[in-house]
Amino acid sequence: MVYHALYGKDVMMNVYDDYLQQLRDQIDKIDDQLLELLNKRAELVLEIGKIKKLDQRRFHVLEREEAIYQRLVNANPGPFPSAAIRPIFREIISASLSLEKTLTIACLGPEATFCHIAAIQQFGEAASYIHTRSIPDIFDEVERGRADYGVVPIENSTEGVVNLTLDMFIESPLHICAEVLLEISQCLLSHAPSLEDITVVYSHPQALAQCYNWLAKNLPHAEIKETFSTAMAAKMAQEQPHVAAIASEFAAKTYGVPVCRLRIEDNPHNFTRFWVIGSTSPGRTGCDKTSLMLSIKDGVGALYNILAPFADNGINLTKIESRPFRKKPWEYIFFIDLEGHQEDQPVSRAIDRVTAMSQFIKVLGSYPKGSRLL
């Protein structure tokens, strides 16, 4: 107010405009420098690619990517948000890799399913995505070499474990390479002018279950119908004016269907865990998990005895799940998640002891712990 009184409002506005322009000019210069550095980085990536090809090394080193993210987050002094570092550098890495070879990723389709979103969260927009109709198809694409990796759902914080994914590992030669933790936020999509005009709601059974109370309260008059995926529901809402879909915001943008209501899930803290599957398990990152499955002879204290080696070696078990062994009635396969990498000595010692007591054991993979940061 004092400045305005002394110099007048118009004069001060000109001063502000000049200062804003100076700041914008500085930002433009920094953006030019960033672009120059990105191209220099890409040149180095291409050189590394040539060396890998000559030495027949792995083209894509997942643990190296994780080390980059961790180092940058730990080194960030601010004010740039640490939560934004991973998604930004994910796209930089994805685009740089595509100069050598485009990674091909298999995931549940069609486009814009939550599985597809999780795959993008791991591999970025520059990867190529194969959209399959089933989880077994994802395993098949990777096993046959038509995809470099697959992304499969393993567990939802509300609905529990995806048993089909666990069952596939019993005979599959593939390994777990990474895990992705994705927040599941459901939206109501429709071209209908109001909720009263919606006659049918389509979605995947799991999404419908996650929004059961909201639907009962807000759309009691609408018919509820199940679809193969939330993305398929969005496609149906795209084509029919009085139809609604429960799907993600990403699906709304992909298929051009307006969002009527945001975050309609009954549980606002809803996450799904996905596994990235591939032919090779990554090396240590220092912040890893290991998953394995085993079967044991039934008897008093059998489960206690098989778990004791982990406790003796100070290893934290984060999950234990049992499944019937399809080939042997009344026998069970145990799936175990634990903290640490199979190359860590405590983990290696524990697995050796458990192997000696098991009828069957298979290490599914050691991989970096997932992060909830997008």
What does the buried/exposed string (b/e) look like for 348-373 if buried means 16 or more CB atoms within 10 Å of the residue's CB? Answer: eebbebbeeebeebbbbbbbbebbee
Cβ contacts of 352 within 8 Å, gap of 6 or more: none
Is 272 part of the annotated catalytic residue set? yes
Is 274 part of the annotated catalytic residue set? yes
- Of the candidates 139, 250, 274, 310, the residue annotated as catalytic is 274
- Of the candidates 113, 272, 285, 290, the residue annotated as catalytic is 272
- Looking up tokens 């008059």 gives 221
Distance between CA 53 and CA 57 in Å, rounded? 6
Distance between CA 262 and CA 351 in Å, rounded? 46
Residue 215: half-sphere exposure toward Cβ, Cα within 13 Å: 24
- Looking up tokens 């890409």 gives 42
| Residues designated catalytic | 272, 274
